[in-house]
């Protein structure tokens, strides 16, 4: 009888613990996350390399799968970015790196750089086979574009650091299109051009070749990454919509990754949205356009190093002074 009573007590205790365990292990109902609230953004992109990374996001907007409501504008001249950001027509814009700093100074700090979107896109072309290093330019005539802007400052920096600044005759041509025509015709034997004009010239002259990649030459000399394009935003817009801006950057990074991983689709979108006139040219140019997404501390390090070079060459090129730390979003 005592044995039976003991067994009953054991069962009772086990049952009690099991009941307690069941109660304690019951999951608390999870609070449901509030759905993301889409924000309307007016985004400007430049035709050319700095606009390539945006085209897949533009397609997402057209397909109504983008998280924000993007209103895109594609412009052909950087001055349109200046006026649009100044008169509050745009919230976000892709633009040349020096223009970002100029706008920061012009708008008294009401501009932040969100990310890098394009590394260097400058190349030395030759109708011949004599140029294989920067030092080979000594004693030669080099045709170039971009006088008074970043291409000139980058070229001058490279020539000076190579010790040949006074040994190269540089003749500046008004437009990229004009120089591409001169290079393709053979009238400009050695030239400095950006993509996609490099590809446009190469397709018209089989004897023309890429002699030097100036992005690689810059990195060899400076130890830094050459940056030519960034994405900027109005600082007051960022402060008002921090989560929406983070969502934009997430979608923008995905768009850039798609540009590099699916060149065929991206090329067609470049033509569709007016970034590069012809898809076949875009297809050949994109691998040389160095489309990249860099943000945070790495962005600050590379952008600030490039701006220092431009400032040393001509303070007016970045609006008179180097931006403060508040210029760099997320750094």
Q: Which pLDDT value is given to residue 313?
A: 87
CATH class of 40-119+226-327: alpha beta
CB contact set of 205 (below 8 Å; sequence gap of 6+): 127, 183, 184, 185, 186
- Long-range pairs, 172-179, Cβ under 8 A, ≥24: 172/143, 172/144, 172/145, 172/146, 172/147, 173/143, 173/144, 173/145, 174/145, 175/145, 176/145, 178/145, 179/143, 179/144, 179/145
Q: Please tell me the predicted confidence (pLDDT) of residue 144.
A: 98
- Please give the share of the chain, as a percent, with pLDDT higher than 70: 90
Summarize the confidence of residues 30-50 as an average pLDDT.
87
Report the pLDDT value the prediction gives residue 132, as an integer from 0 to 100.
Answer: 97
Rounded CA separation 292/242 (Å) = 22
Phi-psi map region of 320: left, alpha, beta (phi>0 left; psi -120 to 50 alpha)? left
Phi, psi of 276 (to 5 degrees): -135, 130
Tokens (6 digits) for 9: 């007590």
pLDDT at 197: 95
Average pLDDT, stretch 303-331?
94
Q: What pLDDT score does 275 carry?
A: 96
Q: Which pLDDT value is given to residue 31?
A: 57
Rounded CA gap, 141 and 131, in Å? 12
Domain with CATH 3.40.190.10 in the chain: 40-119+226-327, 122-222
Average per-residue pLDDT for the chain: 91
Percent share of the chain, pLDDT over 90: 87
- pLDDT for the residue numbered 32: 66
Q: What is the pLDDT of residues 234-282, one digit of tens each?
A: 999 999 999 999 999 999 999 999 999 999 999 999 999 999 999 999 9
- As a CATH number, domain 122-222 is 3.40.190.10
Quick one: pLDDT at residue 20? 44
Using the predicted structure, report yes or no on whether residue 214 has a pLDDT greater than 50.
yes
Helix, strand, coil fractions of the chain, as percent rounded to 5? 50, 20, 30
Quick: pLDDT tens for 111-157: 999 999 999 999 999 999 999 999 999 999 999 999 988 899 999 99
Q: What is the pLDDT of residue 331?
A: 86
Q: How confident is the model at residue 34 (pLDDT cuts 50, 70, 90)?
A: confident
Query: How far apart are the C-alpha atoms of 208 and 211, rounded to whole Å?
Result: 9
pLDDT in tens, 144-202: 999 988 899 999 999 999 999 999 999 999 999 999 999 999 999 999 999 999 999 99
Short-list 329, 294, 263, CA closest to 117 = 294
pLDDT band at 21 (very low <50, low <70, confident <90, very high): very low
Q: Which of 28-42, 84-98, 232-246 has the lowest mean pLDDT?
A: 28-42
pLDDT value for 4: 42
Query: Are the C-beta atoms of residues 139 and 112 closer than 8 Å to each other?
Result: no
Evaluate whether 121 touches 276 at the Cβ level (below 8 Å).
no
pLDDT of residue 150: 86
């Amino acid at each position: 009888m005592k044995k039976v009573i003991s067994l009953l007590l054991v069962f009772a205790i086990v049952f009690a613990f099991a009941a307690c365990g069941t109660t304690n292990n019951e999951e608390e109902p999870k609070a449901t996350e509030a759905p993301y609230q889409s924000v309307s953004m007016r985004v400007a992109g430049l035709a050319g390399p700095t606009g390539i990374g945006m085209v897949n996001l533009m397609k997402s907007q057209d397909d109504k799968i983008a998280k924000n409501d993007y209103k895109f504008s594609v412009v052909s001249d950087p001055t349109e970015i200046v006026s649009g950001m100044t008169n509050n027509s745009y919230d976000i814009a892709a633009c040349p790196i020096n223009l970002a700093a100029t706008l920061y100074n012009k708008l008294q700090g009401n501009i932040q750089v969100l990310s890098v979107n394009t590394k260097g896109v400058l190349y030395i072309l030759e109708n011949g086979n004599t140029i294989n290093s920067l030092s080979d330019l000594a004693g030669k005539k080099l045709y170039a574009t971009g006088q008074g802007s970043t291409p000139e400052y980058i070229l001058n920096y490279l020539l000076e650091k190579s010790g040949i600044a006074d040994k190269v005759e540089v003749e500046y041509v008004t437009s990229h299109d004009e120089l591409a025509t001169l290079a393709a015709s053979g009238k400009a034997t050695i030239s400095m051009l950006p993509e996609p004009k490099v590809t446009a010239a190469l397709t018209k002259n089989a004897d023309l070749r890429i002699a030097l990649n100036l992005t690689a030459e810059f990195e060899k000399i400076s130890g830094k990454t050459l940056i030519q394009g960034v994405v900027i935003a109005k600082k007051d817009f960022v402060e008002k919509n921090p989560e929406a801006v983070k969502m934009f950057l997430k979608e923008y990074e995905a768009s850039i990754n798609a540009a590099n991983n699916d060149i065929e689709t991206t090329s067609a979108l470049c033509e569709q949205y007016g970034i590069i006139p012809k898809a076949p040219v875009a297809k050949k140019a994109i691998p040389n356009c160095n489309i990249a997404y860099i943000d945070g501390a790495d962005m600050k390090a590379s952008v600030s190093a490039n701006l220092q070079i431009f400032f040393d060459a001509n303070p007016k090129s970045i609006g008179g002074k180097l931006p403060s730390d508040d210029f760099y979003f997320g750094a």
